Chain A
Amino acid sequence: MLLSDFLRHDLLLAGTHVGCEHGVCGACTVIFDGVCVRSCLMFAAQADGHAIMTVEGLAPDREHLHPLQESMRDCHGLQCGYCTPGILMTMKVFLDETPAPDEAQIREALSGNLCRCTGYQHIVEAVQLAAERLRR
């Protein structure tokens, strides 16, 4: 059983999406031992004993969103939302490692996540805004 299927069907955490199931689209990206990985390219059994964070773990509590989520909302960085969880997880680790990125660095970090709706511009702006908010 793939990790992506385990998260969605066994743990009922459907925030992790499956777009291509062969590692290209990035919709299934989760954080595994602190780094971003494709959950569609791992077996659930391989996660035994490791730490996983999915998009459900991003917001600090039920009343508040993570600055990345707020910024994506404020900058209209999503339309259908299918790619969004994968992008949020990728950008969370990216901003942890690179708190003050320039646009080129953001686009490079986004290169592993495909979006069919937005054309990426508003996603880049959302990340810039989130970086600013996180630095405050």
Chain B
Amino acid sequence: MNFRLTQPAVLIDINPLTQFSGVQNCAADRLRVGALTRFGNLERDPGIARDLPLIDEALPHIAHPQIRNRGTIGGNLAHADPASEMPAIVLALAGKLRAQSVRGERWIAASDFFVGALSTALEPDEMLMEVELPTAQPRSGACFLEVSRRRGDFAIIGVACTVRVDEEGRCSAVRIGLCNAGDRPIFAADASGSLVGRRLGPTEINQAADLVQGAIDPGGSIHASKEFQRHVAGVLTARAVAAANQRAQREY
């Protein structure tokens, strides 16, 4: 609205709906975050570092402290900026999003939710109410890395990675998500799948980084060329996978 790009005829302030703010456990391995939960509240919640380490690591990169005091996770996800961190994280975590309208409610998988730049699967009469995410499990690790021109700027590229290992230290599950790598958050399916069942060393990790570079379609901008974005995506993927793997190996 401040860019004078939209002039809605009717504007409704949903900030008073504080009952839709907050984090709730809904199962031993899942929790639900209300759409009106502000990033600042997530930053100050000690449970987030334990249960959602990927979000915890990304929060300092999201805009600025003053923005995080008002910005909500629901607003961020419904806005669906392809450079935004949270859509990539929700996609990497394979989260589910609950939409509600007068017609009823439905759950939308993250993989179906982000359909294009600033576009989601929400119908015009639907509102995003909460997002359900898996919590950190034993023998799993997560890492979020981002490069931007200045602290708080939109990411040139951001990578969100989770790794789970079995008792022998081999990778049993990997998910790699990226932001600003296309017109929507990207889940690097081939790269993620390539690591399952293997012990992760430099060779495997670099192969995955190469696959990520081949899978993305960054748009380029005045801050970074497409080639630079592609290069950064490879570098950050390698670092994030290595870090997530190392953190997973430490857990027992």
Contact = CB atoms under 8 A, between A and B. Distances in A.
A binds B: yes
Given A46-B13, A46-B15, A111-B151, A26 B2 contact: no
A36 interface: yes
Given A38-B70, A41-B70, A43-B13, A112 B2 contact: no
Residues of A in contact with B, size category: 20 to 34
A23 interface: yes
Interface string B12-50: 010100000000000000000000000010000000000
B69 A37 contact: yes
B70 A37 contact: yes
Contacts of B66: 26, 29, 36-38, 90, 112
Contacts of A35: 40, 69
B220 interface: no
A8 interface: no
A42 B70 contact: yes
B13 A111 contact: no
B182 interface: no
A54 to B, nearest CB: 14
B65 interface: yes
Interface of B is mostly: loop
B70 A111 contact: no
B223 interface: no
Contacts of A46: 13, 15
Given A29-B66, A108-B151, 14 more contacts: A21-B2, A22-B2, A22-B3, A23-B2, A23-B63, A35-B69, A36-B69, A38-B70, A42-B70, A45-B13, A108-B60, A111-B150, A111-B152, A112-B65
Interface of A: 2, 21-23, 26, 29, 32, 35-38, 40-43, 45-46, 90, 108-109, 111-112
21 contacts: A2-B2, A21-B2, A22-B2, A22-B3, A23-B63, A23-B67, A26-B66, A37-B70, A38-B66, A41-B67, A41-B70, A42-B70, A43-B11, A43-B13, A90-B65, A109-B65, A111-B150, A111-B152, A112-B66, A112-B67, A112-B152
